[in-house]
Amino acid sequence: MFRLAKYEELDIVIDIYDRLAGHLEENINYSHWKKGVYPVAETAEDGIKGNSLFVLVDESIENKIVGSVILNSDQPAQYENAPFDKRFKGSEVLVIHTLVVDPMYLRNNIGWAIMCSIDKYAVSNGFKTIRLDTYYKNTPASGLYEKAGYNLVGLFDLELGFKGLFKLYEKVLC
């Protein structure tokens, strides 16, 4: 089940952030995320406050939260000059932020389930396009987004204070 996170689930999401960042640091850190830097408690707290933090709950595992994502229309300022479809602006655009899968459930199609849920959410809420970015070396995420029908629109420097480009993806819905 894909739904808005509840305030009392905040600690669970933060724990997933910490464990995933630790897992990435111990293995291959495709996303370039760092424990204590991003994602952090404030990331989840802002998502709760903005009614934009969603969770995927696996009802077959005692209603366990197995992943989360932040969905809103907040586009980084750098998107203004990016090669996205210029027909869509503001509230017509859904932006995917901080998609995470509990590291205990990696390689179980949780990311795919979240992406399918995002598509349904976007369509049912009248969005015209979905946008996201990922670190250019994040090959697992890139493969997931392309499999889900997202088009790579370019490589872009999002000026986040470290070396490396980001792949920008968009899925036009109308």
Report pLDDT for 136: 92
Structural domain span for residue 74: 2-172
Please report the DSSP string for 59-108 in residue order.
GGGTTEEEEEEEEES---GGGGGS-S-TT--GGGEEEEEEEEE-GGGTTS
Q: Which residue(s) pair with 100 in the sheet? A: 68
- Classify 22 as helix, strand or coil: helix
The reported pTM is 0.94
CATH number of the domain encompassing residue 156: 3.40.630.30
Mean pLDDT of the chain: 93
Report pLDDT for 35: 86
Report pLDDT for 11: 97
Count: domains in the chain: 1
Contact residues for 33 (Cβ-Cβ < 8 A; gap 6+): 20, 21, 24, 39
- Token look-up 């696996």 returns 58
Contact residues for 28 (Cβ-Cβ < 8 A; gap 6+): none
Report pLDDT for 31: 83
Report pLDDT for 59: 87
The rounded percent of the chain whose pLDDT value lies above 70 is 98
Comparing 26 with 68, the larger pLDDT belongs to 68
Report pLDDT for 32: 78
Report pLDDT for 2: 97
The model's confidence at residue 161, banded by pLDDT at 50, 70 and 90, is: low
For the stretch 51-107, pLDDT in tens is 999 999 998 888 899 999 999 999 988 898 899 999 999 999 999 999 999 999 998
